[in-house]
A and B are shown apart, each in its own frame.
Chain A
């Protein structure tokens, strides 16, 4: 029989449930389980953790997910690949090792990939001629350089492949592309060369379909979403890939959800720009000839993915301090709920002015009317039963942001009638702006390091 590699998805973001991945480990007959823990926003969250404690900066649910899944590494030989390392991959590796020790798995090999973190080298790299101009607007980095908090290049699959070659059972990385953990096992198992563009592209696309966990198996599905079975115990996707790169997306029967052309195609374009040039460090993927076919219940066959040579540059995403947000919620009741809430907004805006509070932006929306649709929401034709006024401000300092909440309580006695349900103590949030730029790949690749540690010998 022709060899097939089965890869299961474990997590689509930091905080995603691990239960479906456990079911995949138990029933899915998979060889690998791959995680994508890092959204753009996640790096900002992890940075805040690391600012509080230098040993943090990785996705902390790695502890529970490893406790749940490491036993299957031993029992079934499933390998686990994760970018949970975030901005502190070595600390994440140590945490995996600690959990493995607790489980008595002394012979487990845990690898860590480093080298994506460029925050301490920005000045040096600029001196070497890397412009770090914004890749979309072309703007100079000067305006944000002093406020940078993190800067990570997106690594591809190759360091993970190397870790697998060195015998790793678990590979922990920092910032990789979302798909790197999914493609790597295929390169390793099938021995694809770095120029097998179509195969590599197919592997990346498979990763893309799996990286957002249940978004391929009926989660966040805009089609017949009411027909998706057992959403409360939804399953995560599994890909069965052959040596040519063609694959089938499926899931375990023990979990709910739906795998169909309709669920898979929604994920196909998710967060992609030009479908003929989905750029990754390993290959540029062309999705314009992809064919999706239902080939059985919960089985979708994917073919026709094309690849083009990989780019000369890697993407770097940096986060910079961009002030603070304060926000407040206050409810208003029928009759004239929306009118009352609007009046309250007017009152607060006037008081902000009177008190001379300096906000860069004041944003008002009404929960129950336009908070998700903004200016596209249609004015309600009937009087709403209730509506929440939500105000948010952007300010330079945390103190200014916090001031907003203090303006609201007097409204109960001094403002429009019948207000209820006040949420004034929402903590202020530090805002982080994102700066994307390109860097010649050799600069990053020359500093990537792979270290494999055996649990029993780790000091």
Chain B
């Protein structure tokens, strides 16, 4: 078992809709998808984004492409055209998720 950053094993893309951000998280294969399913939970993502996301976090599963879609509510300081933050459109939220670390068994490998 070793701790690995999502940065080293996943793809992401994030975007905005109103005051909500979505993050698509993409695993490279079925084994990693299963690891993410167990460890990258909505609760864990909510905790990870503490201080940046004020609302609920929802996770949707899209197993055919080994992906999850995370919905982060109250995440954009009001939304793109009223936010006074630098990343007013949430384009960097995906990168932010890549800072999360998960436990990877040796046999899965990265």
Contact = CB atoms under 8 A, between A and B. Distances in A.
B63 to A, nearest CB: 8
A265 B24 CA distance: 9
A250 B22 CA distance: 26
Contacts of B12: 222, 266
Contacts of B77: 363
Nearest to A267: B13
A268 B81 contact: no
B64 A270 contact: no
A393 interface: yes
B57 interface: no
A431 B79 CA distance: 10
B62 A275 contact: yes
A426 interface: no
B52 A374 contact: yes
Contacts of A431: 78, 81-82, 84
Nearest to A395: B84
Contacts of B61: 288
Given A304-B64, A392-B84, A376 B51 contact: yes
Interface in B54-97: 60-65, 67, 69, 71, 73, 77-82, 84-87, 89, 91-92, 94-96
A271 B15 contact: yes
A327 B62 contact: no
B65 A265 contact: yes
Given A40-B16, A40-B18, A290 B65 contact: yes
B50 interface: yes
B11 interface: yes
A269 B67 contact: yes
Contacts of A288: 61-64
A28 B17 CA distance: 32
Contacts of A272: 22, 69
Interface of A is mostly: mixed
A39 B12 CA distance: 21
A116 to B, nearest CB: 18
A69 interface: no
A375 B86 contact: no
Interface in A343-389: 361, 363, 365, 367, 371-376
Interface stretch (A85-93, A159-167, A432-440): A432-440
B26 interface: yes
A279 to B, nearest CB: 12
Nearest to A394: B84
A268 B25 CA distance: 11
Contacts of B89: 41
A388 B15 CA distance: 26
Contacts of A434: 18-19, 79-82
Contacts of A367: 86
B87 A372 contact: yes
Nearest to B85: A363
B64 A289 contact: yes
Nearest to B99: A376
Nearest to A324: B84
A40 B84 contact: no
A399 to B, nearest CB: 17
Contacts of A268: 24, 62, 65, 67
B34 to A, nearest CB: 17
Contact of A271 (B17, B52, B92): B17
Contacts of A275: 60, 62, 69
Contacts of A153: none
12 contacts: A41-B89, A268-B24, A270-B22, A273-B22, A273-B69, A275-B60, A373-B99, A374-B85, A375-B52, A390-B86, A432-B82, A434-B81
Given A267-B13, A365-B85, 11 more contacts: A41-B80, A41-B89, A136-B18, A266-B13, A266-B24, A272-B69, A273-B71, A287-B62, A361-B84, A375-B51, A434-B81
Q: Top 5 nearest A-B pairs by Cβ distance?
A: A375-B51, A269-B24, A271-B15, A392-B84, A266-B13
